Amino acid sequence: MTPDDEGTPVLPALRRWIITAAAVLPASTAALSGAYFTGQQPQAATKVGAVSHAAPAARAIDAANLYVDPTSNPARWVAANPGDSRAARIKTAIADQPIAKWFGNWDSDVTAAVSNYVGRAQQTGAIPMLVAYNVPGRDCGSHSGGGAGSPAAYRTWIGQFATAIGSRQAIVVVEPDAVAQLDCLPNDTERQTRLDLLKYGVQQLKAKAPNAWVYLDAANAKWIPAATMAQRLRAAGIADARGFSVNVSNYYTTEESVVYAKAVNAGLSSGKTFVVDTSRNGNGSNGEWCNPAGRKLGTPPREGTDAELELWVKVPGDSDGDCGIGAGIPAGQFSPDLAIRLINGTR
């Protein structure tokens, strides 16, 4: 996973729609068992039939316009390199698209950072997309390792994050990979702590950001078996979220992601909506996750057919870490070379 190091205005054309949420009974939090934490090998999702997606009670959002940040990583690179032959293509294909803004421990004042970002979007009449990415032990200490220094610090941070959104509208993805990476934590006590933190975070967003659409991350189609993911989501507070996200920062096709999401949904007590990250899935996955060659931009953000929304959660062109075709480029740093490869779909 990689954060976007800046802030993310403009209004690309998603067809206007307003959805008023229907009431749904909360899913009960499953009791913890070894099934939550046993390491699982990646497997293909099993096809299931269509699942109805009831939305949480009494919320509505206008998603006619998603916020395009003129200070995102790709936008800043374009502005700083007007003479570069790649700049025009990167601007049109990436920088002018709505992309989520990631917040974490690199933000010295998360209240100000979130409030300013959401405020800029509000001034344009656009809907901002945010990612909360600060859980302790983030990314299992890998390329995007870090996070809050303690459970107490995280509770403070996520409370400030939610308060800063306030009554304004937003789309929020909560802690990419945190549910999937329970397996890397050393014992059940720490796993339970993480689940409790995620549940607390979702509850804080529900209480303090009541007009936000909140999606708890459910990893990708070939990582955690769908039934196991559903159990974990229940324990992590999915009952208080609008739904869940899949394929964040990964490359699986929208079709594969939808099949997996429907299988996850079949394991939840109540139907949930879901969103798919399409930022880099135009050529699908080759089985690698860290700056693999030959990947391509996916469908720009829009309403989904099966998914509620197809979004660009990962910032295209931002490195996954010092790996693959991004060797030497730290996680979260924008690379015009990586961006052009995604535009062209080339190795």
Give the strand order in the sheet containing 273-277. 101-103, 129-132, 170-174, 212-217, 243-246, 273-277, 309-311, 302-303
Catalytic site includes residue 320 = yes
Catalytic site includes residue 318 = no
Quickly count: other Cβ atoms within 10 Å of residue 278's Cβ: 26
Half-sphere exposure of 321 (CA within 13 A, CB side): 13
Distance CA(327)–CA(181), nearest Å, equals 24
Contact 88, 74 (CB under 8 A): no
Contact 72, 6 (CB under 8 A): yes
Look-up: residue for tokens 């403009």?
A: 10
Question: Cβ contacts of residue 25 below 8 Å, gap of 6+?
Answer: 269, 270
Distance CA(239)–CA(228), nearest Å, equals 16
Question: Amino acid identity of 5?
Answer: D
Q: Where are the alpha helices (DSSP H) in 168-316?
A: 188-208, 226-235, 254-266
Catalytic, out of 96, 177, 217, 277:
177
Residue 38 exposed, middle or buried by CB count within 10 Å (0-12, 13-18, 19+): exposed
Distance CA(342)–CA(347), nearest Å, equals 9
Question: Amino acid identity of 64?
Answer: A
Catalytic site includes residue 109 = no
How far does CA 179 lie from the centroid of its chain? Answer: 12
Distance CA(267)–CA(252), nearest Å, equals 21
* Terminal alpha carbon distance of the chain: 21
Catalytic, out of 4, 69, 107, 139:
139
Q: Where are the alpha helices (DSSP H) in the chain?
A: 34-37, 73-80, 87-90, 110-124, 151-165, 188-208, 226-235, 254-266, 336-344
Catalytic, out of 5, 96, 277, 320:
320
Catalytic residues: 139, 177, 320
